[in-house]
Amino acid sequence: MEVKECIESRRSIRKYRNDTISIEAIKELIDAARKAPSWKNTQVSRYYVVRGEQLHLVYDNLPDFNQKNTLNAQAYIVSTVKNGISGFDHDGNYATFLKDGYQYFDNGLQVENLCLRASDMGLGTLIMGLFDEEKIRVSLKIPDDEKIVVIVALGVPETIPEMPRRLPMEEIVKFI
Ligand SMILES: Cc1cc2nc3c(=O)[nH]c(=O)nc-3n(C[C@H](O)[C@H](O)[C@H](O)COP(=O)(O)O)c2cc1C
């Protein structure tokens, strides 16, 4: 699929078919994620792929609407960042006015790569920012030096919605 078509056609999927997805396919997505750029190439994103019998470790700690939206998802990919590296100097101080913002920026670049590659492979994703952070941290044994950023549900799409409205170009850009 061309990049332009992939960008246009990726959607947040909230209805999945009960079809399996191989570990090899999931590795392909993580491989796309890790190729994204990052602050000084620090690559602080980490992934916890929850599948099969273990899905409940995440599912049980989602709000109702995210549970409903991810029924039949084949994996939850919990994405974290190793805290205090990207956007920080060698002494552990913020390197820029954005403070710890670049670690999340880096993570977003990786997660978008992952979602685009999934769409390219005919798979569906839903990025979720709403979940019980503490319970998921404990159940997946995520170390204290990592921050959970988002959880991506992964599955085979049942229905692909229309693109939600985007702001018009004039509203978001100024040519100077
Ligand atoms: C950081 C982030 C958090 C999100 N959290 C949720 C969520 O908890 N539940 C949900 O249904 N969608 C969530 N979304 C999906 C957005 O609602 C969706 O991307 C947006 O409506 C645009 O639709 P599209 O992805 O199909 O283009 C999240 C998206 C992002 C980037």
Tens-digit pLDDT string for the chain (176 aa): 899 999 999 999 999 999 999 999 999 999 999 999 999 999 999 999 999 999 999 999 999 999 999 999 999 999 999 999 999 999 999 999 999 999 999 999 999 999 999 999 999 999 999 999 999 999 999 999 999 999 999 999 999 999 999 999 999 999 99
3-158 topology per CATH: NADH Oxidase (3.40.109)
Domain ranges for the chain, please list them: 3-158
Task: Give the residues surrounding ligand 1 with Cβ less than 6 Å away.
Answer: 11-12, 66, 69, 126-130, 150, 163-164
Q: Cβ distance 132 to 147 under 8 Å?
A: no
Residue of minimum CA distance from atom 3 in ligand 1: 129
Query: For position 167, what pLDDT does the model report?
Result: 98
Ligand 1: which atom is nearest the Cα of residue 164? 23
Contacts of 52 (CB under 8 A, 6+ apart): none
Separation of CA 122 from chain center:
17
Q: How far is the CA of 12 from the centre of ligand 1 (A)?
A: 6
**DSSP structure string for 4-43:** HHHHHH--B---EES----HHHHHHHHHHHHTS--GGG--
Ligand 1: which atom is nearest the Cα of residue 131? 8
Q: How far is the CA of 92 from the centre of ligand 1 (A)?
A: 32
Query: For position 155, what pLDDT does the model report?
Result: 98
Q: What is the distance between the alpha carbons of residues 146 and 80, in angstroms, rounded to a whole number?
A: 6
Q: Please give the torsion angle defined by the CA atoms of residues 6, 8, 11 and 17, in that order, rounded to the nearest 10 degrees.
A: -50
Q: How far is the CA of 146 from the centre of ligand 1 (A)?
A: 22
